[in-house]
Chains A and B, each alone.
Chain A
Amino acid sequence: MLNKGLHLSKEIFEKDSEKVPTRNGYGEGLVEAGKKDERVVVLSADLKESTRSQMFEKKFPERFIEVGVAEQALATIASGMANYGKVPFISSYATFSPGRNWEQIRTTIALNDVPVKIAGHHAGISVGPDGATHQALEDIALMRVIPNMIVVVPCDSVEAKKATVEAAKNGKPTYLRFAREKTPVITSGSTPFKIGKAEVFWSPSRSSGRLVNPQVAIVACGPLVYEALFAAKQLEEEGTSTVVVNNHTIKPLDEDLILNLARKVGAIVTVEEHQAIGGLGGAVSEFLAKSHPVPIEFIGISDSFGESGEPDELLTKYKMKSKDIVQAVKKVILRKEN
């Protein structure tokens, strides 16, 4: 059942539940961060509309900077501004930023240790018809491997707004990942959010008044948290108990929670719209390999590029839907029992 203490949306399992793209939360978050702190500036590489940076430009035109189609300049100009004392957010598609400008981010932002916020938009395969060139499936890995970098993948537009506002205050190089498509709104304004602290969104319902021990922990990030919740619901109806964790912060990983789950539950499925190599699954398995190894299954892209198609068709083809998570849960239970 959904964790009652977290004020999650009550209608998420309804067919017509509210759907909003996470990038909208970014735009709203920029405006709020801009109101709170006049040091906040936003830079765009000719993608202000689709990254929703335009919302900030309308409110604070003097603090909006257009650099043209130049992602390396986007990162390095922001580095200079942050070095001076501004809090710059840089907005582009994730394949270009942090894809094309990775070295500039590494040297002039992370090693230089200045608080630039990198917003990677149109991440994941659900970008859809634009095809493989525009579907960032490697960005979490690219960012998480860099020292000093914080990596956050919000699960919905409400959380995206909170993550943006919090990133403006954390004083550190930070990567925020956003999706193009409308996705279900899972959380509410009252749901707690803190960078670095994962939340258990779903735990087994009581059976005859007794607590039920979960058999598998589903650790998810981004809009696929919704698919994970759907899988948990279906599994419970079939008699399999799980917990679902919204693991929005990939770095620093909430090691206490993950270790606790590994010890108590003993099997994990990670879920992300990213290569199964090097992202959330990589972070969880690297940590558990040295602390408390348990069987893990990975939902994500299996070492391939994407292709054109409708978002839902692609999520189905590349096995990232709730039914795929259900299969992975069943598989990991078998591995755990053997």
Chain B
Amino acid sequence: MLLVAGSGHSAGSLGMSDVFTSLYFEIMDHDPGNPSWEERDRLILSCGHIAPVLYATLAHAGYFPISELLTLRKLGTRLQGHPEREKLPGIENTSGPLGSGLAQAAGYAYAARMDEKKFRTYCITSDGEHQEGNHWEAVAFAGKNNLSNLTSFIDRNNIQISGFTESVMPLEPLRAKYEAFNWSVLEIDGHNIEEIIDAASHAKATFENPTVIICHTIPGKGVDFMEGKWEWHGKPPNLGEAIEALKDIRTLQGKIKSEHE
């Protein structure tokens, strides 16, 4: 996708693949055949730049043809560089500018609670966007209002576009900050499917306040030359790199034989 598009964000998209897979294939109640089903769980993506993993997940879940993934970022595509609501089935909100997603998710959850709706609102945020003031305004709002129907996942991959988060502008102690705002906090391995699903169940059973799940992830996960490198935050692979990357992903970095060969 990113090779054909010629631009886009590789590292975060790969790093969040396990979380997205868990959400759309286990955790969330949703119906790809009826994207506007009123009782569906909602996923508000805050860090819209990881659109590739959202699009890939939605396509594999059956929201639109997998072949359409190769139109990413092309003129006339429904797969805009950053996601736009109503352009594509399954997209709940327009995003890209950082720090605004959690507030939207909190507003959604607040409105749903007013009407005694049973569905849950999920939000995915990046760690870097925790430098935005708008985000903390939302943390305060959700904490004050005990929005227990809201669960937020943080992609804690420690990188952002110009370096490591802790050198650009430190975020730690992240857990203590959320706790101070009346959130329940869980910390997990963001590549362990069981842990992701367990944490979401735990959040569902928490009725006192909103839950944030800090997912420790590896940026560029599954591709040797990308893993842990902040330089891969905002760029796509070239042809040679893409071939190598796909080989890594399809063989679990050489551990198994690829079905594609």
Contacts and interface: CB of A to CB of B under 8 A. Distances in A.
A32 B93 CA distance: 30
Nearest to B121: A80
Nearest to B132: A72
A86 B137 contact: no
Contact of B103 (A77, A84, A112): A77
B110 A65 contact: yes
A153 B219 CA distance: 49
Contact of B104 (A41, A68, A80): A80
B108 A73 contact: no
Nearest to A114: B85
A108 B104 contact: yes
Nearest to B94: A112
Chain A CB within 10 Å, residue with most, of B44, B103, B110, B140: B103
Contacts of A65: 110
Interface string B136-154: 0110110000000000000
Secondary structure dominating the interface of B: helix
Contacts of B97: 103-104, 107
Interface string A43-78: 000000000000000000011010110101100111
Interface in B93-135: 93-97, 99-100, 103-112, 114, 133-134
A81 B103 contact: no
Given A62-B114, A108-B94, A80 B84 contact: no
Nearest to B107: A80
Given A73-B138, A73-B141, A108 B100 contact: yes
B103 A72 contact: yes
A111 interface: yes
Interface in A78-104: 78-86, 88, 103-104
Given A77-B104, A78-B107, A103-B97, A72 B85 contact: no
Contact of A83 (B84, B92, B137): B92
A67 B108 contact: no
A273 interface: no
B21 to A, nearest CB: 25
A86 B100 contact: no
Contacts of A62: 114
A113 interface: yes
Interface string B73-94: 0000000000011100000111
A139 B111 CA distance: 28
Nearest to B134: A72
A83 B108 contact: yes
A90 B105 CA distance: 17
A147 B153 CA distance: 32
A111 B109 CA distance: 21
Contacts of B140: 68, 70, 73
A113 B86 contact: yes
A111 B84 contact: yes
A103 B106 CA distance: 19
A79 B84 CA distance: 14
A80 B147 CA distance: 14
B104 A76 contact: yes
Given A65-B110, A68-B140, A83-B92, A76 B85 contact: no
A76 B134 contact: yes
A77 B94 contact: no
Given A112-B85, A112-B94, A76 B138 contact: yes
Contact of B100 (A67, A76, A83): A76
Given A84-B111, A84-B112, A107-B96, A77 B85 contact: no
Given A70-B140, A80-B104, A80-B110, 4 more contacts: A63-B114, A81-B111, A104-B97, A104-B134
11 contacts: A41-B111, A73-B140, A76-B134, A76-B138, A77-B103, A81-B107, A83-B107, A86-B111, A107-B100, A108-B94, A112-B84
The 7 A-B residue pairs whose C-beta atoms are closest, nearest first, are: A80-B107, A76-B103, A73-B137, A80-B104, A77-B107, A70-B137, A72-B134
Interface of B: 44, 84-86, 92-97, 99-100, 103-112, 114, 133-134, 137-138, 140-141
